[in-house]
Structure 1
Amino acid sequence: MPFDHRAHVRMAWDAVATGGVLHALDVVPAALRALASPGRYHATLTWAWVLLVAERYRADEPWPAFEARCPELFERDLVARRYPSGQLASSGARGAFELPR
């Protein structure tokens, strides 16, 4: 099974469900750094996706219901649409979380 965008969202959901947003912001980046090829990890994208998942998370809702209720989270460009052109491509955004300018 490929580790696609849906798998990334599920990883974030699992981490939020396990320990909340701060836990997820610790474990998801660490896991992705360990899994990613050198130079592929992107801090801003990772944090943004974790925060979007955490914002929509409901403790009483199982994954299938969350997935059905939040289809926008499966649009790969959701985060990129909120950032100005070029910001996500910067080395700064890749190395550390940046808010949109």
Structure 2
Amino acid sequence: MSHPRPAAPAPTDAFDTLMAEVMAHEHRFRHRQHIHLTWLAVRGYGTGAAIALISDGIRRTARYAGAPQKYHATVSRAWVELVGHHVAGSDDDTFDAFADRHPALFDKRLLARHYRSSTLATAEARSGWVEPDLAPFP
């Protein structure tokens, strides 16, 4: 007798589960926790699915917090793309090992190597994907 495969978690459930894992021993959600959340999403779902999962989760969280203007589509996707690139070339089993191997990801100014600030300030970049205009992602 075969058993049906469990359904994949809905994106909201997946985001909430990953967020709970990241925040289990944390008090604040800062850049390191964002990278940790993204690392978990990329490892669990792949970069493409992680883009949607993280973007939708952050958008929903910002809206729930009464600050929908804080969501930035290009910035959210760019970080997933960068983390995804490093995950693809890594066999780190723990987030701490990954973090030690890729310290550049913990510099919040990393996107300035790829984007002009004026580009990220546009309504287009805030609401949708804009390709890097200074240097392509690796």
**Which bracket does the TM-score occupy, shorter chain normalised?**
over 0.9
Contact 1:80 1:88 survives alignment (8 Å): no
Match of 1:39 among 69, 85, 90: 69
Instruction: Tell me how many residue pairs correspond in the alignment.
Output: 101
Give, as a single letter, the amino acid of the residue that structure 2 aligns with 1:6.
Answer: R
Instruction: List gaps (5 residues or longer) in structure 2.
Output: 1-26, 134-138
Asked if residue 80 in structure 1 is aligned to residue 112 in structure 2, the reply is: yes
Asked if residue 2 in structure 1 is aligned to residue 28 in structure 2, the reply is: yes
1:70–1:60 Cα change, 3 Å: closer
Instruction: List gaps (5 residues or longer) in structure 1.
Output: none
Question: Percent of aligned positions with the same letter in both sequences?
Answer: 38
Match of 2:43 in 1: 17
In the superposition, the TM-score normalised over structure 2's length comes to: 0.69
Match of 1:28 in 2: 54
Give, as a single letter, the amino acid of the residue that structure 2 aligns with 1:56.
Answer: H
Q: Distance in 1 between matches of 2:123 and 2:91?
A: 35
Give every structure 1 segment of 4 or more consecutive aligned residues whose post-TM-superposition deviation is greater than 4 Å: none
Q: Report the RMSD for the aligned CA atoms in angstroms.
A: 1.2
Higher relative contact order (CA 8 A, sep 6+): 1
Larger radius of gyration: 2
